[in-house]
Structure 1
Amino acid sequence: MKFRTLILVVFILLVAALAALNFEEILRPTPLNLGVTSVQAPIGLVLVGLLTLMIVVFLVVLVFNQTTHLMEVRQITREANEQRHLADKAEASRFIELRDFLQAQLQVAAAREQEISEKLHHRMDNLQERLTVVIEQTGNGLAASLGELEDRLEQQFRRNPDS
């Protein structure tokens, strides 16, 4: 229980106890001046009735204020939920845009990689063809050199068969 509520309850109990202790005096009739006329009535009972009426009016105003506050809180909560929902949609939209951007970039990178790979294969094929030509030329050159050496050796062997 809140401290203010506790003080209010204690105060009401003290007033009720004071009224209960002086109940005979509260019921004693006295002349009351109402401005236009005078009547004979128990002043204590009239004052307790006015106090009770004031407490009831206070409670009605309190309940009205609490209800108004709760309705405002619900409205604000609903608006906050709507804003959160909109923010979530915007964030999801940004994620979708980011995903699409990344996919486009990946496709560009894949195309670039494919192009580079094709260029590399083409160069490798050219290098292989050149290497094959060089190897053939080298082989032909070696074969010619060996053939020439063989011819020289045969000529020299024919000239000097004894050696």
Structure 2
Amino acid sequence: MNPRTLVLLLTVALITVLAVFNWNALATPSEVSLGLLSFEAPLGVLMLGLTVLLGIFFVAYVLSLQGSVLLETRRHAKEMQAQRELADKAEASRFTELRAFVQSQQVQSQEAFMARLDALETHLMARAQESDNSAAAYIGQLEQQIGRAPRQG
């Protein structure tokens, strides 16, 4: 139990015990003065009544304060949830942008790779054509040399 609550309960219990054991003294009528007005009443009962009234107002104040704090906490929780949702949406948006950027980079890389592959293929075809032409020229020279050589026979 909270120490403050314990002290409060002990104080209320002490006031109650004192009021019960000293009821005759509390209920004894005496002259009560309010400045301009004076009357005869039991002063102890009046003071006890004012103490109870003060206690009721104190409890009402604490309950209203606790209610307002609870409402404020709920409002803050809702605001925090809204901020979390905004942050989640922003993060999702960043992921979407990142995905689009990565895909565009991939497309550019693939296009560059295909262009380079096409250039290499063209170069390879040209080399193959040169090689074919060289081979044909060598074969042509060999045929001419064979054709000029005297035939023995």
Match of 1:119 in 2: 119
Larger radius of gyration: 1
Shift of 1:6: 1.8
User: 2: CA distance between counterparts of 1:134 and 1:16?
Assistant: 123
Structure 2: unaligned runs, 5 residues or longer: none
Match of 2:76 in 1: 76
Q: Provide closer, same or farther for how the CA distance between residues 7 and 144 of structure 1 changes in structure 2, counting only shifts above 3 A.
A: farther
Match of 2:89 in 1: 89
Residue 31 of structure 2 aligns to a residue whose secondary structure is strand
Deviations 1:26-63 (A, max 9, x none): 12222211223322211111111000000111111111
Shift of 1:140: 4.0
Runs of 4+ with >6 A deviation: none
Match of 2:15 in 1: 15
User: 2: CA distance between counterparts of 1:96 and 1:59?
Assistant: 55
Size of the alignment, in residue pairs? 153
Taking only aligned residues, the RMSD between alpha carbons, in angstroms, comes to 2.2
Deviations 1:46-100 (A, max 9, x none): 1110000001111111111111111111112111211221122122111111111
Q: Normalization by structure 2: what TM-score? A: 0.86
Residue 116 of structure 2 aligns to a residue whose secondary structure is helix
- Return the letter of the residue paired with 1:81: Q
1:29 and 2:29 matched: yes
Match of 1:99 in 2: 99
Shift of 1:123: 1.1
Residue 136 of structure 1 aligns to a residue whose secondary structure is helix
Q: Normalization by structure 1: what TM-score? A: 0.82
Match of 1:39 in 2: 39
- Return the letter of the residue paired with 2:59: L
Residue 35 of structure 2 aligns to a residue whose secondary structure is coil
User: 2: CA distance between counterparts of 1:117 and 1:127?
Assistant: 15
User: 2: CA distance between counterparts of 1:15 and 1:101?
Assistant: 76
User: 2: CA distance between counterparts of 1:35 and 1:122?
Assistant: 117
Structure 1: unaligned runs, 5 residues or longer: 159-163
State the identity %.
29
- Return the letter of the residue paired with 1:37: L
Q: Provide closer, same or farther for how the CA distance between residues 32 and 119 of structure 1 changes in structure 2, counting only shifts above 3 A.
A: same
